[in-house]
Structure 1
Amino acid sequence: MATPLEPDPRRDVVLDATTLKALTHPLRPRILSALRLHGPATASRLAAHLGVNTGATSYHVRQLAEAGFVVEASELGNARDRWWRAAHARTYFDTHDADQETSAAYLSAVAAGYADNAQRAIAEIATLPPEWEDAGTFSNFTLRLTPDETTTLMADLTAVIRAYRPHQGTEDAPADARPVSVNLEVFLAPGMSDE
């Protein structure tokens, strides 16, 4: 059975009860994701990208900075514009490490970000270059599995995904490589737990 890779403490953050609370607002995971995907940005640039107002974005970036999720990219700014970058490449979260309410709030914020990204991708389908038109999918598979089989499935899928070049590995990427979002959601089908 394949197992997911362990977090790298130099590049990854493992959420605990304290840091998790900083990510329970729905806009904060979206800001963090945008900085990881697109690189450093100002609050104004983030606001334009995310379709929200600059004041809200600026406030939430500062909250993320206080929690250690983003750091100032001082080499990019000037006295007027502050640039920010993600402090970590990935976030790891174990639902056993936090109370149920905080876990649910964080996971809801993450799911909202996934849904927003999917809607934006769908809106851009008509503008894709021909080579990208059939390169992705929006698919759903419902399987009947045991908890052990589900754990094995997650580990196997994670191993396949990790075998590909990460977004940060741009120096060895072909010229036509672009960031591709792969969202992996594995959960017991809602309303099915007592079958």
Structure 2
Amino acid sequence: MTEPEESKVRDLDARSLRGLAHPLRIQLLIALRRHGPATASMLAERLGESSGATSYHLRQLAAHGFIEDAPEHGKGRERWWQAADGGLRLDEKLRRDPDPSVRGAAALFMHELANVHTREVSTWVGNQGSWSVEWNRASDISDFTLRLTPELAEELVKKMHDLVDSYASLPSLPEDTPDAETVRVHTHVFPSPTQ
């Protein structure tokens, strides 16, 4: 879901997947990963939800171990939350699980990730005029059609992930680095009907 360090990636199982499979829970987890610790009220404002809804879903995320208290932030009455891991990995076997509720949770999770990617790309397209010429030149929205076997497609995915990981493993740029920005990288590889 995000820029995970390999050691902090959590493998989803059927139980945790069912605990995560709600659009608002996924949005809350993404917000905590990208923007750091926050309270239910802060997240409600950011996501356009009620603080009652965000509080409830944060408690559900905590019950399944996706988030935890951020004690260094909590000085007042409000509870601060932070992500408990750096990323999630969905085993493809969960999408073929005999239990329809597990398959449904996996499908909801995948659909919500596709929605997140769509919103991010649409936001970029709508706001690209406010970015520098350099950032416009350095950005990319491309698609390719290839004819591959499942083995070749899996090899392609691994090579793309290895390439992205090679950039993720570079030393972090200091906050004051000129022109440095957080960059989102999406990959999608899937079969497409030919007719």
Same fold (TM over 0.5): yes
Selected match of 1:146 from 149, 152, 157: 149
Q: Which residue of 2 aligns with 1:175?
A: 177
Q: Percent identity?
A: 36
Note the alpha carbon deviations across 1:29-61, whole angstroms, 9 max, x for none: 222122111211122222232333333222221
Selected match of 1:162 from 162, 165, 169: 165
Matched, 1:59 2:56: yes
TM-score, normalised by the number of residues in structure 2: 0.83
Contact 2:5-2:87 within 8 A present in 1 as well: no
1:18-167 aligned within 5 A: 18-97=15-94, 98=97, 99-165=102-168
> 1:170, CA displacement in angstroms?
3.4
> 1:171, CA displacement in angstroms?
6.1
The one-letter code sitting in structure 2 at the alignment partner of 1:38 is H
Higher relative contact order (CA 8 A, sep 6+): 1
The one-letter code sitting in structure 2 at the alignment partner of 1:49 is R
The one-letter code sitting in structure 2 at the alignment partner of 1:157 is M
Note the alpha carbon deviations across 1:76-98, whole angstroms, 9 max, x for none: 12332221111001111112034
The runs of at least 4 aligned residues of structure 1 exceeding 3 Å deviation read: 169-174
Contact 1:165-1:173 within 8 A present in 2 as well: no
The one-letter code sitting in structure 2 at the alignment partner of 1:183 is H
Contact 1:37-1:179 within 8 A present in 2 as well: no
Structure 1 residues 47 and 18, CA gap change in structure 2 (3 angstroms): same
Structure 1 residues 6 and 79, CA gap change in structure 2 (3 angstroms): closer
Long gaps (5+) in structure 2: none
Note the alpha carbon deviations across 1:72-127, whole angstroms, 9 max, x for none: 11111233222111100111111203442221121112212222222233333222
* Structure 1 range deviating more: 121-130 or 103-112: 121-130
State the number of aligned residues. Answer: 185
Note the alpha carbon deviations across 1:134-156, whole angstroms, 9 max, x for none: 22122222211111110110011
Structure 1 residues 166 and 27, CA gap change in structure 2 (3 angstroms): farther
Structure 1 residues 45 and 118, CA gap change in structure 2 (3 angstroms): farther
TM-score, normalised by the number of residues in structure 1: 0.83
**Distance in 2 of aligned mates of 1:153 and 1:102:** 27
Q: Which residue of 1 aligns with 2:9?
A: 12
